[in-house]
Amino acid sequence: MQGGVCFAAAGGRLTPVRSPRKATGMSAVQSSVSAASDHTPHVLARLLALGRPIVMGVLNVTPDSFSDGGRFIDPGVALARARELVEAGADILDIGAESTRPYGGATPVAREEEMARLKPVLSQAVALGVPVSIDTIKADVAAWALDQGAAIVNDVWGLQRDPEMAPLVARRGAPVIVMHNRDGADPAIDIMSDIAAFFERSLAIAERAGIPRDRIVLDPGIGFGKTPEQSMTAIGHLDRLKAFKLPLLVGASRKRFIATVTPSEPQQRLGGSIAAHLLAVQKGAAIIRTHDVADTVQALRVAAAIGAA
């Protein structure tokens, strides 16, 4: 099926997409998306121009990530996983070396440790040929990762934690994922208004720093500073965030809200993750962040094919 064509839904539209590919050799996406070492501002634009949901595969080189902590800390295993994600159809590899622990309890990691975890993995992951995003809240780590060939910065504090992050992103011309976050969940608030107000602050910071708007992706931050109900509201009402006229990313993969509907451990939440991601795409998500790339790609394609029938 390499290089084959089928259909996927992108915000309700049906568009031809490529099939999963091998990690070696030129892939279909490489012909339309610059190599991962490409720092040009157009990496994001070219991905989005594919006109179908973009799938971001998660690689955690951490001992303590909530769903797969410790599994990929060995560099050889991490690289094998990266290859597997690319072969399964990942359009972006999102690599993180500090657990964000959406549900609390993360051990803060010094930047030296974060970089030491990334060092044996990052540039080799970049060499696989899909754009790599660096999942970090530290500008120093992001700068170093961009030097290694990462193409996108994924900041789970939406440019609001490290004051050096926005200037760095502006200087480097990197696309940035601005994720909504809160120090704690408050069941009393209107979560959609809170997300919108947070994005307004992030976009003001971005503008002051000189980050062009066309390099920004917004993400409601499923599971971060939200009750399970608020996480579900964020997906169900995602279309309200279309008002920002920026691409939206949703990462519901294996998150805890799923277990509040059907009790399950993180590894048992594939069905719930896929349901959430299909609905997110229906509500306007352009990018889906997932640990389970092959199943997600299949689900997106089948949903789109049925939609086209």
- Among positions 131-150, residues that touch ligand HH2 (CB under 6 A) are 135
Catalytic residue among 18, 52, 255, 283: 255
Token pair 């720093």 is found at 209
Q: Which of 54, 116, 125, 55 has the alpha carbon at shortest distance from 95?
A: 125
- Among positions 77-106, residues that touch ligand HH2 (CB under 6 A) are 96, 99-102
Binding-residue pattern over the window 192 to 231 for ligand HH2, x denoting contact by CB under 6 A: ---------------------------x-xx---------
Q: CB of residue 176 vs ligand HH2: minimum separation in angstroms?
A: 10
Q: CB of residue 193 vs ligand HH2: minimum separation in angstroms?
A: 20
255 given a catalytic annotation: yes
Radius of gyration of the chain (CA): 18
Among 134, 179, 235, 248, binds ligand HH2 (CB under 6 A): 179
Look at the alpha carbons of 100, 106, 108, 112 in this order and tell me if their dihedral is positive or negative: negative
Q: Which one of 13-21, 39-47, 62-70, 76-84 is the stretch in contact with ligand HH2 (CB under 6 A)?
A: 62-70
256 given a catalytic annotation: no
Q: CB of residue 106 vs ligand HH2: minimum separation in angstroms?
A: 7
Question: Which tokens is 50 given?
Answer: 């594919």
* Measured distance CA(92)–CA(54) in Å, rounded: 8
* Measured distance CA(130)–CA(30) in Å, rounded: 7
Catalytic residue among 52, 172, 254, 289: 289
Among 21, 289, 292, 303, binds ligand HH2 (CB under 6 A): 289
Exposure b/e, 87-107, CB count within 10 A at least 16 = b: bbbbbbbbbbbbbbbbeeeee
Q: Which of 80, 78, 87, 37 has the alpha carbon at shortest distance from 59?
A: 78
Which residues have C-beta within 8 Å of that of residue 309, sequence separation ≥ 6? none
Kindly list the residues in this chain that would bind ligand HH2 in the complex (CB under 6 A).
58, 60, 62, 65-67, 96, 99-102, 135, 154, 156, 177, 179, 219, 221-222, 249, 251, 289
